[in-house]
């Protein structure tokens, strides 16, 4: 397994060792000890989520203002561009974002710690997205920052179409007026 800290160093790109053979492949999609070593954390995960989305769907940028969730995310079918935004006011990288392409083919995982907003854009005809979270879903605390907030200036890949958004996500707030973490 290879772990790479991104421009925001708390966000870690994890590339598992994949064992291919005539039957297909095998890899450890989660190993607590290896995860702890890769991220320098020891979070426990309490929920696994699975979503499927069509090409052009953009989910995000989501976070829970209480019960903040760390998320270990991956793709098992298709490809997405995945983004983490640092919304911790005390952080030297507050307001900055990092992104990575995650796909079924590259088997990459992204560790998005608590304190970040998270979202992704589907690049392939469809994508199945799996993630573990460090706290439970708490709808009362859900918040959404606009995917196209000019202050964030996220360079989403050009897929030749406008993003398909949920009603909730089309009303995301600007970071400047959103509730953030201390
Ligand atoms: C996230 C979530 C949703 N739901 C329900 C609520 C709703 O009826 C339905 C769809 O919810 P949403 O539209 O919020 O799903 P979605 O837009 O996929 O939300 C997810 O987006 C990505 C980017 C994240 O980072 C996640 O943390 C989560 O916020 O599923 C749960 O029951 N448990 C959960 O943990």
Residue 131 is a catalytic residue: yes
Ligand 1 pocket, 132 CB below 6 A? no
For residue 132, the model assigns a pLDDT of 98
Distance of CA 71 to the CA centre of its chain: 7
User: What is the pLDDT confidence band of residue 1, given thresholds at 50, 70 and 90?
Assistant: very high
**Cα pseudo-dihedral 152, 153, 158, 162, rounded to 10:** 70
Q: Write the residue with the smallest CA distance to atom 35 of ligand 1.
A: 137
For residue 3, being part of any structural domain is answered with no
- Residue tagged 């940028």 (tokens): 61
Q: pLDDT digits over 92-122, tens only?
A: 999 999 999 999 999 999 999 999 999 999 9
Q: Average pLDDT, stretch 33-50?
A: 97
For residue 13, the model assigns a pLDDT of 98
Q: Tokens at residue 176, please?
A: 């400047």
CA gap 85, 98 in Å, rounded: 7
For residue 33, being part of any structural domain is answered with no
For residue 147, being part of any structural domain is answered with yes
Q: pLDDT digits over 120-169, tens only?
A: 999 999 999 999 999 999 999 999 999 999 999 999 999 999 999 999 99
For residue 12, being part of any structural domain is answered with no
61 CA from centroid of ligand 1 (Å): 11
Integer-rounded Cα Rg, in Å, for the chain is 16
Its domain, for residue 97, covers: 43-177
Residue 62 is a catalytic residue: yes
| Residue 128 CB-density burial (10 A; 0-12 exposed, 13-18 middle, 19+ buried) | middle
- Which ipTM was obtained for this model? 0.99
Choose the catalytic residue: 62, 63, 107, 118: 62
For residue 30, being part of any structural domain is answered with no
Q: Which of 48, 53, 54, 60 to mutate to test the pocket of ligand 1 (most atoms within 8 A of CB)?
A: 60
Bridge partners of residue 133, in order along the sequence: 47, 71
Burial 86-117 (b: 16+ CB within 10 A, else e): bbbeebeebbbbbbbbbbeeebbbbbbbbbbb
For residue 1, being part of any structural domain is answered with no
Whether residue 62 is preceded by a cis peptide bond, meaning omega within 30 degrees of 0, is no
For residue 94, being part of any structural domain is answered with yes
For residue 177, the model assigns a pLDDT of 97
167 CA from centroid of ligand 1 (Å): 13
Closest CA to 181 of 8, 98, 63, 82: 63
Total of domains in the chain: 1
What sign does the dihedral 32-37-41-42 (CA atoms) show?
positive
* Residue 116's CATH number: 2.60.120.10
Atom of ligand 1 nearest to the CA of 69: 27
Choose the catalytic residue: 27, 118, 131, 181: 131
Q: pLDDT digits over 54-94, tens only?
A: 999 999 999 999 999 999 999 999 999 999 999 999 999 99
Percent of the chain clearing pLDDT 90 (strictly above): 100
Q: Tokens at residue 158, please?
A: 């050009």
CA gap 68, 113 in Å, rounded: 9
Q: Write the residue with the smallest CA distance to atom 10 of ligand 1.
A: 51
For residue 14, being part of any structural domain is answered with no
């Amino acid at each position: 397994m290879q772990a790479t800290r991104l421009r925001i160093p708390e966000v870690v790109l994890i590339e598992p060792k994949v064992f291919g053979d005539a039957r297909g492949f095998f890899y450890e999609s989660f190993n607590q000890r290896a995860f702890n070593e890769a991220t320098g954390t020891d979070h426990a995960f309490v929920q696994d989520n699975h979503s499927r989305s069509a090409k052009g769907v953009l989910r995000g940028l989501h976070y829970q203002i209480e019960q903040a969730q760390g998320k270990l995310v991956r793709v098992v079918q298709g490809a997405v561009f995945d983004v983490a935004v640092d919304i911790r006011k005390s952080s030297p990288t507050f307001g900055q974002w990092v992104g990575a392409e995650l796909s079924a083919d590259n088997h990459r995982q992204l560790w998005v710690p608590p304190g970040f907003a998270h979202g992704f854009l589907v690049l392939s005809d469809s994508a199945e997205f799996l993630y573990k979270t460090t706290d439970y879903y708490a709808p009362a605390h859900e918040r959404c920052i606009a995917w196209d907030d000019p202050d964030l200036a996220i360079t989403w890949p050009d897929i030749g179409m406008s993003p398909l958004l949920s009603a909730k996500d089309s009303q995301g707030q600007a970071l400047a007026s959103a509730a953030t973490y201390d």
